[in-house]
Amino acid sequence: MTGTEFVVVGQWMTDVVATLPGPLREGTDTAAHVAVMGGGAAANTAAWLAYDGRPTTLVARIGDDMLGRAGRAELEGGGVRCALAVDPVRPSGTCIVLVAPDGERTMVPDAGANEGLRPADLPDDLFQRGRHLHLSGYTLLVDGSRMAGLAALDHARLRGMTTSVDVASVGPLADTGAARFLSWVTGVDVLLANESEAALLAGLPRSAHDAPPAVTRAAADAAAAVLTATVGTVVVKLGAHGSLARTSEGGAAWAEAVPVDVLDTTGAGDAFAAGFLPAWAEGEGLVTALERGNRAGARVVGRVGARP
C-alpha cells in the first residue's frame, strides 16, 4: 500500500510492561508477568503506519547503547525509515508500564535521550509538500524537546504539509497547562485526544467514570466543539464508547467501538492515530477515518504490548 507519506516526530522508548494479576501490594512483592518491548508514542504510531504499508519516517533520539541499537533494528525490520539522532550522554528512554487486571495502564517514564531532541535533529529534506507530519504531544510536554516539536510544526506549515498532534497524556498536560499547550498547537489540522485530555484543554468537566455512554459522548462532543476554535479537526477517543470528531467548519461524526476483550490499553491511542490519519489525509471522510482508528486501536488492546 502506498499513498500519503508520513513523518512522525516524537519519542522512542523501551517499555518494561508488568501485567498485574490484582492490585499492586505496596511495600512488598506483587507477582506479575513482565515483558520488555518497544514503546514510545511516536515510535508506536510509526510502527503501525509502516505495518499497514504506509511510507513512514520516524524522527526521534536514542542513546548510544544496546537498547537504542536494538530499537532501531526492530523499527527498520518493520519497514520504518529511521532518522534517529544518537545522544552521546543520555541513555535511551525507558518506561515502566503497570497494567491492571482491567487493562488500564499506569506509566512511569524516564525520557532519557528523548529529552535532548533538538531542531537540528529534524532532517530538512523530510519536510515536503504532500506529506503529513504527526507530532507526539510528549515532544511538547517535555521541556528539553519542546523547541524541536515547535520547529517540526513550523517546518511542516512552511512546506505546505498537513499536520496532526496527539495530546499524549493528561498528567503532563495538567502540569504544563492547557493554555500553553493550545498556544503551541494552534492551527494544526488534526488534534487527537482522549476524553480527559479534551476536557482539560477545553476547560470543561469530564463525565464520571461510570457515566452512561450517551453522557460520555455528549461531554466529549462539547469539549471538541470548544477546541475547534483552535484547530481544524478535533478527534476524541472514548475507548469502549467509540470515537468522535468535530471540525472548525461545523462537521461532526461518531463511530462505535469494536468489541474486544481488553488485556492492555498501552499504545491504543498511538495505533488509533495510525488507523485514522491515512483515511483522513486521503479524504475518505470522518466516519471512515474514525472507524479505521477504532479498528486499529482494538487490535492493540486485545493483547499485551503497543507495537505490531
- Other Cβ atoms less than 10 A from the Cβ of 186: the count is 12
pLDDT for position 262: 78
Instruction: Note whether 6 and 47 are within 8 A (CB).
Output: no
CATH classification number, 6-301, choose in 3.40.50.2020, 3.90.1170.40, 3.40.1190.20, 3.30.70.260: 3.40.1190.20
Instruction: Note whether 148 and 121 are within 8 A (CB).
Output: yes
Q: How many separate helices (H) and strands (E) can be counted in the chain?
A: 10, 13
pLDDT for position 233: 98
- Other Cβ atoms less than 10 A from the Cβ of 111: the count is 22
- Nearest 5°: the CA angle 156, 161, 164 is 80
Spatial separation of the C-alpha atoms in residues 225 and 245, rounded to whole Å: 9
Spatial separation of the C-alpha atoms in residues 67 and 133, rounded to whole Å: 26
pLDDT for position 1: 58
Spatial separation of the C-alpha atoms in residues 111 and 51, rounded to whole Å: 25
Reduce the secondary structure of 150-214 to three states and give it as a string.
HHHHHHHHHCCCEEEEECCCHHHHHHHCHHHHHHHHCCCCEEEEEHHHHHHHHCCCCCCCCCCHH
| Per-residue pLDDT in tens (0 to 9) along the chain, 308 residues | 568 999 999 999 998 888 888 888 888 888 888 888 888 999 999 999 999 999 999 999 999 999 999 999 999 999 999 999 999 999 999 988 888 887 777 888 899 999 999 999 999 999 999 999 999 999 999 999 999 999 999 999 999 999 999 998 898 999 999 999 999 999 999 999 999 999 999 999 888 777 888 888 999 999 999 999 999 999 999 988 999 999 999 999 999 988 888 777 778 899 999 999 999 999 999 999 999 999 999 998 888 777 88
The DSSP code for 263 is S
pLDDT for position 2: 64
pLDDT for position 261: 83
Instruction: Quote the pTM value.
Output: 0.93
